[in-house]
A and B are shown apart, each in its own frame.
Chain A
Amino acid sequence: MAHDHHHHHHDHDHDHEQDPPSDIALRVKALESLLVEKGLVDPAALDAIVDYYEHRVGPRNGARVVARAWTDPAYRARLQSDATAAIAELDFTGRQGEHMVAVENAPGVHNVVVCTLCSCYPWPVLGLPPVWYKSAPYRSRVVIDPRGVLAEFGTVLPADTEVRVWDSTAEVRYLVIPERPAGTEGLTEAELAERVTRDGMIGTALL
Chain B
Amino acid sequence: MNGVHDMGGMHGLGPVIPDSDDGPFHGEWEGRVHALTLASPSRGNIDAGRHQRELIPGPDYLRMTYYEKWFTSLQAMLLKGNLVTPIELRTGRAAAGTTKTTPHLLAAAVTMVQMRPASYERDVAAAPRFQTGDEVRAINLNPTGHTRLPRYVRGRFGVVERVHGAHVLPDSHAHGLGETPTWLYSVKFSARELWGPEASAVDSVRLDLWETYLERA
Contacts and interface: CB of A to CB of B under 8 A. Distances in A.
A182 interface: no
B27 interface: yes
Interface string B92-130: 111000101111011101110111111111000000000
Interface residues of A, number: 91
Interface string B149-186: 11010000000001010011010000000000000101
Given A165-B204, A171-B167, A144 B16 contact: no
Contacts, number: 290
B148 to A, nearest CB: 5
Contact of B107 (A38, A48, A101, A171): A48
Given A45-B106, A143-B152, A167 B29 contact: no
Nearest to A143: B8
B217 interface: no
B203 A35 contact: no
B200 to A, nearest CB: 7
A172 B208 contact: yes
Given A138-B16, A162-B202, A163-B200, A8 B114 contact: no
B24 A170 contact: no
Given A9-B22, A24-B68, A53-B34, A166 B206 contact: yes
Interface string A167-178: 111111000000
Given A5-B27, A118-B5, A152 B16 contact: yes
A39 to B, nearest CB: 4
Contact of B114 (A22, A52, A143): A52
B92 A31 contact: yes
Contacts of B24: 53-54, 58, 127-128
Nearest to A8: B27
A7 B91 CA distance: 29
Given A39-B100, A131-B19, A141-B16, 10 more contacts: A5-B27, A35-B40, A49-B38, A57-B114, A84-B117, A163-B203, A164-B206, A165-B204, A165-B206, A169-B149
A2 interface: yes
Contacts of A50: 25, 31-32, 34-35
Interface residues of B, number: 97
A42 B75 CA distance: 17
Contacts of B27: 5, 8-9, 22, 25
B26 A94 contact: no
A28 interface: yes
Contacts of A39: 100-103
Given A94-B117, A171-B120, A1 B32 contact: no
B143 interface: no
B203 A34 contact: no
B6 A153 contact: no
Interface string A72-93: 0000000000001000100001
Contacts of A17: none
Interface string B182-211: 001010000000110001101111111110
B63 A1 contact: yes
Contacts of B194: 143-144
A195 interface: no
Given A53-B34, A132-B16, A140 B118 contact: no
10 contacts: A2-B66, A22-B27, A34-B93, A52-B111, A95-B118, A99-B167, A140-B8, A163-B203, A167-B205, A167-B208
